[in-house]
Structure 1
Amino acid sequence: MLIRTLSLLLLAATATAGTKLETVNRDLSGARTTTINTWAQGGMMRVETQPNESTMIFKDDTIYAISHKDKSYIAMDRASMKRMAEQLNPALQMLQERMKTMTPEQRAQMEKMLGGQLPGGAEKKQEIKRTSRNDKINGYSCTFVEVREDGVLTDELCVVPGNAMQGSAELMASARKLAAVMDEMLSSVDMPWLKQMSQKQMQNFEALGGIPVMSRHFQDGKPQSETTLSNITSEAFAATVFEIPAGYTKKDMLAPR
């Protein structure tokens, strides 16, 4: 869900000194724990998962997705997004035609497989509500906020007021910059459903009223995963932190795999 991704990004950057953020995502079934490290400085970002499976770098209005497995990367900018849309639109139109004949059960199953709402489907009513529940996570006093879709709980986040966290103003500004670039990219392609989803998630995040230090995702009323802030520090980073590793090969993201 985009709101969880934005929750991490809003804890990620500063315009002067850099910020390093460490969060831990736990699969509550006990299957897997993933550490996510985020570096940010001067409007640039680097997000890396551990085990070291992938890295995302954002700089110069371009998003780079890096694969360490085969030492390659792809670059996503406005031009590549437009080319991708031109190739995907026919397939999306076919999918929307197919959905017209699906039963509600078939639609629900496909949404579950794809991890979200299908394009062209009925928009779910989303509600964000601040509760009276409070907690203290890694030294930060926070208040729980619930996210519901069609009345069903999908996420709960423990939110810290922006002025209570180190470098909060810069963090918010950096996240908004990335969101603005994404919105501009999407505005140039024929994917109104995707643009609407992006805009809605950013609007919803603004409604949280602060910065989440913990987020918990639910499915069918049961908690599935939890992401928690474990550490945040400020320091100046070398420019190489936000560069593609030497020797990595650029790949066309639209090329057949």
Structure 2
Amino acid sequence: MNIRKNFAQLIAAIGLSLTSIGSVQADISLTYQSLNYPDYRSTILVKNQYIRFENPMAPEFFMLFDSEQQHMTLVDGSRQSYTVLDRETLDSLSEQIEVTRKAIIAELETGMKTASAEEKAQMADILEQIKSLAQGPEKALVQYQQTSVQAQVNGYNCTVTQAIINTEEHAQLCVVSAKKAGIPEEEMATLESFHHFSNSVHQQLNPGDSTELLFVMNSKVQIPVSVKRLLPISAQDEYQLMQVKKLSIPASAFSIPNGYQQKDIEDAFIVE
């Protein structure tokens, strides 16, 4: 069985587009745009403890997050359905993934006993990767190192910050204070809470994998106005903060549409 890409796509785009919005003319909307692909824009709306994320690359999906209840809701417009992710359901899915992982390891170890030398070497490499990922990181996977380099992005004077994974620089962020970007403390607290939750989700589903963790910073006081991805080479691009808007978002924007049916987490993420 394979984990569907819907969640990974959403988290990746969210990471590339930390945005937010709040209450009566105090809600915040931040829009990031790709320099390589200008049609790729991402926006997150933050209202008090709520987040709504819409990914223009998958317009039929959107995601809601409640920082007080600590749960995420994935909404699939094409199926008129939704799936709620909370700690209990994530633990259940994580257990299923671990059972499958152990079965694959056992099958590889059995196959290696009768495999040719070349096949055995290939299987040993796969086995090592699976076991390594299963262990997960002993510390935060992404280390952010602030440099003394200053830059200017769309009128913001920002500080270049390196995103380091296993001693390699995977991305460069240019960050400013949330206050300078005009983002209230309450909305930043919601974004930080989302960072912790999404990081936990991703590591439960794909332990040790850094792919979707580069860009959502663990901070109440700083936000990137530029995100330049360096590795992997195939994913090189830069996203810049193009717009910050204060507006009023109706509470209904953070609710599940009427008539949508709830699906089990297995139905949303696992394909036989």
Flag whether TM exceeds 0.5 (same fold): yes
Alignment of 1:1-257 (within 5 A): 5=14, 8-9=17-18, 11-14=19-22, 17-25=26-34, 28=36, 33-51=39-57, 52-59=59-66, 60-95=69-104, 98=108, 106=125, 118-120=133-135, 127-179=143-195, 181=197, 194=207, 205-206=217-218, 210-220=222-232, 224-255=236-267, 257=271
Query: What is the CA-CA distance between 1:12 and the residue it aligns to?
Result: 2.0
For the residues of structure 2 that align with 1:48 and 1:24, how far apart are their CA atoms?
14
For the residues of structure 2 that align with 1:79 and 1:120, how far apart are their CA atoms?
21
Query: Structure 1 stretch 67-76 or stretch 237-246: which is displaced more?
Result: 67-76
More strand by share: 1
- Give the match's secondary structure for 1:167: coil
- Shift in CA distance, 37/4, structure 1 to aligned 2, threshold 3 Å: closer
Q: TM-score, normalised by structure 2?
A: 0.69
Q: State the one-letter code of the partner of 1:72.
A: S
For the residues of structure 2 that align with 1:133 and 1:213, how far apart are their CA atoms?
15
- The C-alpha deviation readout for 1:21-79, integer Å capped at 9, x for no partner, is 211235x4x5x842212111120010001251420111343211112222222111222
Contact kept, 8 Å, 2:16 with 2:32, in 1: the verdict is: no
- Shift in CA distance, 152/86, structure 1 to aligned 2, threshold 3 Å: closer
Structure with max Cα Rg: 2
Q: State the one-letter code of the partner of 1:90.
A: V
Query: What is the CA-CA distance between 1:3 and the residue it aligns to?
Result: 9.0
Equivalent residue pairs, number: 240
Contiguous gaps of at least 5 residues in structure 1: 112-116
- Give the match's secondary structure for 2:264: coil
Q: Which residue of 1 aligns with 2:115?
A: none
Query: What is the CA-CA distance between 1:126 and the residue it aligns to?
Result: 5.4
What percentage of aligned pairs have identical amino acids? 20
Contact kept, 8 Å, 1:39 with 1:47, in 2: the verdict is: yes
- Shift in CA distance, 96/126, structure 1 to aligned 2, threshold 3 Å: farther
Contact kept, 8 Å, 1:96 with 1:119, in 2: the verdict is: no
For the residues of structure 1 that align with 2:209 and 2:191, how far apart are their CA atoms?
17
- Shift in CA distance, 14/96, structure 1 to aligned 2, threshold 3 Å: farther
For the residues of structure 2 that align with 1:71 and 1:104, how far apart are their CA atoms?
41
For the residues of structure 2 that align with 1:107 and 1:226, how far apart are their CA atoms?
32
Query: Structure 1 stretch 127-136 or stretch 233-242: which is displaced more?
Result: 127-136
